[in-house]
Chain A
Amino acid sequence: MTDTSTTSPLVEIRNLSFARGNRMIFDGIDMDIERGKVTAIMGPSGTGKTTLLRLIGGQISPLTGTIKVDGIEVTKLNRSALFQLRKRMGMLFQNGALLTDMNVYDNIAFPIREHTQLSENMIRTLVTMKLEVVGLRGARDLMPSELSGGMARRVAMARAIALDPMMMMYDEPFTGQDPISMGVLVRLIRELNDALDLSSIVVSHDIEEASSIADTIFLLSGGKVVAQGSAEALRESGSEWAQQFMNGLPDGPVPFHYPAIDYAEDLLSAGNK
């Protein structure tokens, strides 16, 4: 690896636009995601945080702009090159997305079996190591339906790191978790990042949890990056935007009301019907 590839950002997004129907999800955003760091992407629901992960993973294509992962332009890859790149990416889906017809062990062994010719003994050792990392070695024989939401996410994490990726993407990892499993997930994300020398992208709207582990936070809204920096910097920033989001204020630059016609006019028109 050359010097430039280790110092350049892991993910470089330039002038990215993406639309769903007539609705602009991203409108020319730029973003650099540093290597070795935990980067949080935050914003109100429906701002396209998950869409951003799917764009980085090459599951969907942008309208305009470029996305480079480890110096490779994702949007220009053919399917097999994209699959090669994805082997180096791990992704945790919101509900784990475990394969429900296999037990925990087989779920973690799944990517290893598909991509390598390792012996069953070797696979067992690898799976056991990954399970130990997430603290679920004892749950090896359980089926996904027997796991709690938090456990399912931990198994999915073990599966995502099965091939030792260079980066991990977490899609809303804290949603719907009790405080204990939330704490476990927060700790795991940070520990995995540091111990395995990963780079992590965490998409979330849980301010407390995300800001406790993130080195950098990007705040998204209305298709733009409205603020970026460390959690402290954002809390202290003068941006009304950052203030509203970080402090959870009901009204501000993000309006409480969904765009609508004038209230009085709306009431009167209902009366006329």
Chain B
Amino acid sequence: MLNFIQQLGQSGISFFERLGRAHILFAQIVAGVPSMLTRFQLVIQQMYSVGVLSLLIILVSGLFVGMVLGLQGYNTLVDFGAEEALGVMVSLSLVRELGPVVAALLFAGRAGSALTAEIGLMKATEQLSAMEMMAIDPIGRVLTPRFLAGFISMPLLAALFSAVGVMGGAFVGSGLLGVDEGAYWSQMQASVDLYDDILNGVIKSIVFGVVVTWIALFEGYDAIPTSEGVSRATTRTVVHSSLAILGLDFILTAIMF
């Protein structure tokens, strides 16, 4: 019993220790942002591996999610003779919820895990120590550009996800199931609000981008520098990011809508 309490205390302490380290690292990463603005080509390089290389999975998933929404939405709406509202349903679901959330989940799996593995292996192969010994701060030089790249790429990826999804919905709805094309697009334009819907979706995706990239970088930087340690850190990145995205989505939705 005493042992159990001791273990409980121990894991509680180590949880808060890690949380503290994560926040300190976040502050250090953010402190490096101003100097990175003058060396933006480093961020652009990272945007390629974090953002551009995630495009395929984001676009393909967006298309299929949109198509499924079109299909399901049509089946529900047609019973009420309201299939013209399909465009509204598809676009609102995507812009408000599915775009930011699913894109962020995919981003965590594709780019987040890659970031953790990369940083963890850099640590394991002493590349970060070598930088320290060359009097170069690895947080400012390695982590900050990756953080900025995630921060910038995530909303763009989510926007593309939603855009492609809306087109997928249109393809299924009006292309295959015969919903009037004019009604699909005009009802969407009339009902989707730039601030209430689109801007809030963008804010969500920015928050998810910050959180996922932060978790990924911290897990990599804090990983035990062995192959087992890096593999566990990569798993933790995907699990923790996914939970954080879903939890934060609920909170943000409750505040916004």
Binary flags per residue of A95-127, CB closer than 8 Å to B gives 1, else 0: 101111000000000110011000000000000
Contact between chains at A93 and B136 (CB < 8 Å): no
Contact between chains at A95 and B141 (CB < 8 Å): no
Q: Which residues of B contact A93 (CB under 8 A)?
A: 126, 129-130
Contact between chains at A115 and B126 (CB < 8 Å): no
Given contacts A97-B125, A97-B127, A100-B125, contact A87 B135 (CB under 8 A): yes
User: 7 extra interchain contacts, Cβ-Cβ under 8 A, other than A93-B130, A97-B127, A115-B135?
Assistant: A57-B133, A87-B134, A93-B129, A98-B127, A100-B125, A110-B136, A114-B136
Q: Which residues of A contact B132 (CB under 8 A)?
A: 59, 86
Tell me the complex Cα distance, A77–B117, Å.
33
User: Which of B122, B130, B137, B141 has the largest number of chain A CB atoms within 10 A?
Assistant: B130
The verdict on A91 contacting chain B, using a C-beta distance below 8 Å, is yes
Contact between chains at A110 and B129 (CB < 8 Å): no
Q: Which residues of A contact B135 (CB under 8 A)?
A: 83-84, 86-87, 111, 115
Q: Which of under 10, 10 to 19, 20 to 34, or 35 or more describes the interface residues of A?
A: 20 to 34
Tell me the complex Cα distance, A100–B128, Å.
12
Tell me the complex Cα distance, A272–B133, Å.
53
- Interface, chain B (partner A; CB < 8 A): 122, 125-127, 129-130, 132-137, 141
Contact between chains at B134 and A59 (CB < 8 Å): no
Residue contacts A-B, CB under 8 angstroms, 21 given: A59-B129, A59-B132, A83-B135, A83-B137, A86-B133, A86-B134, A86-B135, A87-B135, A91-B130, A93-B130, A97-B125, A97-B126, A97-B130, A99-B127, A100-B122, A100-B125, A110-B136, A111-B135, A114-B141, A115-B135, A159-B134
Binary flags per residue of A180-206, CB closer than 8 Å to B gives 1, else 0: 000000000000000000000000000
Q: Which residues of B contact A114 (CB under 8 A)?
A: 134, 136, 141
Tell me the complex Cα distance, A93–B129, Å.
9
Tell me the complex Cα distance, A86–B126, Å.
16
The verdict on A94 contacting chain B, using a C-beta distance below 8 Å, is yes
The verdict on A33 contacting chain B, using a C-beta distance below 8 Å, is no
Q: Which residues of B contact A84 (CB under 8 A)?
A: 135
The verdict on A89 contacting chain B, using a C-beta distance below 8 Å, is yes
Tell me the complex Cα distance, A114–B133, Å.
13
Least CB distance, B47 to chain A, in whole angstroms: 15
